């Protein structure tokens, strides 16, 4: 009997065993980070015996836009990308929470760091993934000494692989300082986001999140939280947030595909609110987890079943 899930990937146009999905060391993307990627979650619901992929078309729209911004040649339609992904997950046989990593990379052996008119490849691998950062315990965070990449340095709203050196610097600094996560300021000194997640605060009953102009990645979870919160009657504001405002917020939380909805307990040794998960965060976190597991009829359209 075959053992499930099978460790398969999509590579050079077909599904292959992951240990055969390898690139040559001369690959341009390996040298310069000339690639764009996505991160998509699938949630297993035992009652349905199915895995539900969260907002797959929105993720592929962003991947396509990221490739366009960087002039990477990429001509697959969102429908084709969705079909390829569903086939891969099905063939692997996953019946658990998963993380899907699609990416477009410059596969050419071109020596110079450039983007246009080069051969690219599209690949996908899949992993089992539950929490990426703890969603139950409050996170200890610090303002990073690294500034978030500015849009005129590396397009910040693209998920450009090379740009993630910036995230890696901030994340390592935070972990090595005994924290769980970093908070970036943008080049102007306003709050941007976490190393791989968007940021929300609650102040005086308002839900506030940093704007796209603060060099953030336009998160799909962020967009979902905004829509959800508005539907629940919250006053949602997208505006610049000052670093010092964070310290006196009633609640702070991160949103992201990896992070899901994760609450912040401490920033720069200041306790946020009462040092517990706040009521707004708890409400949004509970609904979010119900939605992704297909327990909220109203948001079924955000999910694509695998089987």
What residues make contact with ligand PMP under the rule CB under 6 A? Answer: 39, 167, 193, 196-198, 217, 219-222, 255-257
Find the shortest distance in angstroms from Cβ 39 to ligand PMP. Answer: 5
Looking only at Cα atoms, what is the longest distance across the chain? 59
Shortest CB 1 distance to ligand PMP, Å:
36
Instruction: Give the total residue count for the chain.
Output: 307
Instruction: State the Cα–Cα distance between residues 277 and 137, nearest whole angstrom.
Output: 8
Residues 6+ apart with CB under 8 A from 271: 265
CB of 201 to ligand PMP, least distance (A): 16
Residue of 142, 159, 171, 293 marked active site: 159
* CB 186 to ligand PMP: min, Å: 12
Shorter beta-carbon distance to ligand PMP: residue 33 or 256: 256
Decide whether 256 or 278 has the Cβ nearer to ligand PMP.
256
Q: Nearer to ligand PMP by C-beta: 84 or 220? A: 220
Q: Of 274, 51, 70, which Cα lies nearest the Cα of 163?
A: 70
Helix (H) or strand (E) holding 69: helix 56-69
Q: Which is nearer to ligand PMP, 8 or 264 (CB)?
A: 264
Buried-state track 145-179, b at ≥16 Cβ within 10 A, e below 16: ebbbbebeebbbebbbbbbbebbeebbebbeeeeb
159 is catalytic: yes
Q: So which residues are the catalytic ones? A: 159
């Amino acid at each position: 009997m075959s053992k499930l899930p099978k460790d398969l990937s999509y590579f050079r146009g077909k599904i292959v065993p992951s240990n055969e999905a390898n690139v040559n060391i001369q690959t341009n993307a390996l040298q310069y980070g000339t690639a764009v990627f996505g991160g998509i979650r699938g949630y297993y619901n035992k009652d349905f015996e199915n895995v539900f992929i969260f907002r797959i078309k929105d993720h592929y729209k962003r991947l396509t836009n990221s490739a366009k911004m960087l002039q990477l040649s990429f001509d697959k339609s969102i429908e084709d990308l969705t079909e390829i992904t569903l086939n891969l997950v099905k063939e692997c046989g996953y019946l658990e929470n998963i993380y899907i990593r699609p990416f477009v990379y410059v596969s050419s052996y071109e020596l110079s760091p450039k983007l246009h008119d080069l051969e690219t490849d599209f690949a996908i691998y899949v992993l089992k993934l539950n929490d990426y950062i703890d969603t139950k315990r409050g996170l200890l965070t610090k303002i990073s000494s690294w500034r978030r990449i500015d849009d005129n340095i590396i397009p910040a709203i693209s998920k450009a692989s090379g740009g993630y050196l910036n995230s890696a610097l901030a994340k390592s600094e935070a972990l090595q300082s005994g924290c769980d996560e970093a908070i970036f300021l943008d080049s102007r000194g306003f709050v941007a986001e976490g190393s791989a997640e968007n940021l929300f605060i609650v102040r005086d009953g308002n839900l506030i999140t940093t704007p796209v102009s603060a060099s953030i990645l336009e998160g799909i979870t962020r967009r979902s939280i905004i829509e959800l919160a508005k539907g629940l009657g919250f006053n949602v504001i997208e505006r610049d947030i000052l670093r010092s405002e964070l310290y006196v917020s009633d609640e702070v939380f991160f949103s992201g595909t990896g992070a899901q909805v994760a609450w912040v307990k401490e920033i720069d040794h200041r306790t946020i609110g009462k040092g517990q998960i706040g009521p707004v965060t708890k409400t949004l976190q509970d609904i979010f987890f119900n939605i992704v597991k297909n327990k909220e009829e109203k948001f079924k359209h955000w999910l694509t079943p695998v089987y």
